Structure 1
Amino acid sequence: MLEPAPLIAGLPWTGWAVAALVALLVGFSKTALGGLGMIAAALMALVIPAKDSTGAVLLLLLTGDLVAIWAYRKHADFRMIGRLLAPVLVGVALGAFFLTAVSDDVMRRTIGGILLALLVLNLWRDHLRTDTRAATLGYGGLAGFTTMVANAGGPPMSLYLLAARYEKWRFLGTTAWFFFTVNVIKLPVAVGVDIVRADTVALWAVLAPVVLVGTWIGRRVIGHVDQQLFERLVTVLVALAALNLLLL
């Protein structure tokens, strides 16, 4: 008789409730407010080990990505995505090394500190140029690094696109295709560093339908959010995600 997957067998009902909320937030974040994905990743780390949570959430994110790229397929800026891919790959490689070299606590606080620094920079976004090579390398590298170690690439990418004055639909389409591409690249790396295993796949299989419900809700909600409110919500969610990582 097959033994139950460890992550599933060890979860109490409260853990399942949190995991279901995580899946719902992941789906919602992919079609509405990306900053919620970071909060979802932090919540998952409360019920399973942080490094395992990174692998489990990656699979949930890929599920939401598939819906998002279809929903916003007409709005993506593929030239921007192409410019960012090289620095993102460097960031992913550095993040994979970081995952194997530091503790969960150091990992969380490092990402939280980076996000707070980016938020401070964002206060002067009217004076920031995002069309320079330095900005592309910096934000792209940070997005790759943070998405590899904590599935937290959304906040750096969000701040970059807000500074570039992307309107809501172009923002959603570009982030959808960008993170689908990045998450597909991350998947074999995650398998290689042993944060995606048979038990994380089993957990994903249970939670994937909840992700789809979240994407459906997000699609219904985002059409009623105007541009100014959208930008404010994204900024607030990034701040909450950063503080959550620093204070846990």
Structure 2
Amino acid sequence: MSLVPWQWLLAGLAALIIGFSKTGIGGLSLLAVALFTQIFPGHTKQVSGLILPLLIVGDLVAVGAYRRHIQWKFLWKLFPFTAAGVLLGWFAMGRIDDRQARLLVGTIILAMVALHLHRRSSSKRPPPSSAPAVSDSPALPPSAPDHELWFAATMGILAGFTTLIANAAGPLMAIYLLAMRLPKLEFVGTAAVFFMILNWFKVPFMVDLGLITTDSATFNLLLAPAVLLGAFAGRAVLPRVNQRLFENLALTLSALSGLHMILP
């Protein structure tokens, strides 16, 4: 794989962001995808396979760092539906072009952001007048849909579909975990193990589609140190981020990711 210096610089930055997003602010991962699409314009689906091994490297570090914070109860209900979504994405991959893939994924992300905002605003209750103000409390309402199977089914299928099409399940998983009202460490740890399992599950499909090759694997090996560096940086930064800020950043970055996928 032959790249000029500025392309290698962008690729290194994207790999750094992937690592940081895995252990720090998850919504940044779509920025890495955007950088890779600048390096390989018009090849959204190929980029999806190219960066998958880099995501797996970041997953391994994140799971190791946050293994004590994983909340499995929020994941078991997702996995069967996510697997179904991956199969749907595999079926659709050869039937839609890059532009259609971006429009579809972007629309799904924005629709889920809008649904989350609607649920949050309609569920808000004024706090008791005697309750003290807590600046670091979760921003989401107590009526988050953690008991609703339909919500897990919808998010699981969409996450599986979008992750195979464009490695864009991050915003959807963020919305799901925000709805579960998880503290930031539990949020990141639970997301990390979810994506580690999901990304390994995707590998055979990517190989079958010709999106992971020996050339792309060599490219991944060269960028792996940047992923590790970013992951260690994210691990150092996350404890210093306010919970409310973390939640608002996750939601905002999800919306921006959807817009980026839609805009030409």
Q: Deviations over 1:113-163 (max 9, x none)?
A: 111111111112334524211111100111111111111111111001101
Q: What is the letter of the counterpart of residue 108 of structure 1?
A: R
Instruction: Give 2:63's match in structure 1, choosing from 58, 66, 69.
Output: 69
Equivalent-residue separation in structure 2 for 1:139 and 1:45 (angstroms): 25
Larger relative helix fraction: 1
SS state of the match for residue 72, structure 1? helix
Instruction: Give 1:21's match in structure 2, choosing from 3, 9, 13.
Output: 13
Equivalent-residue separation in structure 2 for 1:197 and 1:99 (angstroms): 17
Residues 72-87 of structure 1: pairs in structure 2 closer than 5 A: 72-87=66-81
1:132 aligned onto 2:148: yes
Equivalent-residue separation in structure 2 for 1:16 and 1:180 (angstroms): 26
1:117 aligned onto 2:104: no
Alignment partner, residue 107 of structure 1: 101
SS state of the match for residue 201, structure 1? helix
Equivalent-residue separation in structure 2 for 1:52 and 1:46 (angstroms): 13
Note the aligned Cα RMSD (angstroms). Answer: 1.1
Q: Is the 8 A contact 1:75 1:169 kept in 2?
A: yes
Alignment partner, residue 219 of structure 1: 235
1:172 aligned onto 2:188: yes
Task: Count residues with an aligned counterpart.
Answer: 240
Alignment partner, residue 182 of structure 1: 198
**Structure 2 length normalisation: TM-score?**
0.88
Q: Deviations over 1:219-244 (max 9, x none)?
A: 11111001100001111111111111
Q: Is the 8 A contact 1:52 1:200 kept in 2?
A: no
SS state of the match for residue 88, structure 1? helix
Q: Deviations over 1:49-94 (max 9, x none)?
A: 2222111111100000010000000011112211110000000011
Alignment partner, residue 5 of structure 1: none
Alignment partner, residue 88 of structure 1: 82
Equivalent-residue separation in structure 2 for 1:42 and 1:149 (angstroms): 14
Q: Deviations over 1:136-192 (max 9, x none)?
A: 110011111111111111111100110111111111110010000000100111101
Q: Is the 8 A contact 2:77 2:149 kept in 1?
A: no
Work out which of the two has the higher radius of gyration on C-alpha atoms and give 1 or 2.
2
**Structure 1 length normalisation: TM-score?**
0.94
| Percentage of matched positions with identical amino acids | 40
Equivalent-residue separation in structure 2 for 1:194 and 1:24 (angstroms): 25
- The runs of 4+ residues in structure 1 deviating greater than 6 Å are none
Q: Is the 8 A contact 1:81 1:178 kept in 2?
A: yes
Alignment partner, residue 48 of structure 2: 54
Long gaps (5+) in structure 2 = 124-143
Equivalent-residue separation in structure 2 for 1:99 and 1:21 (angstroms): 28
1:41 aligned onto 2:57: no
Q: What is the letter of the counterpart of residue 194 of structure 1?
A: G
Say which is worse superposed, 125-134 or 26-35, in terms of deviation: 125-134
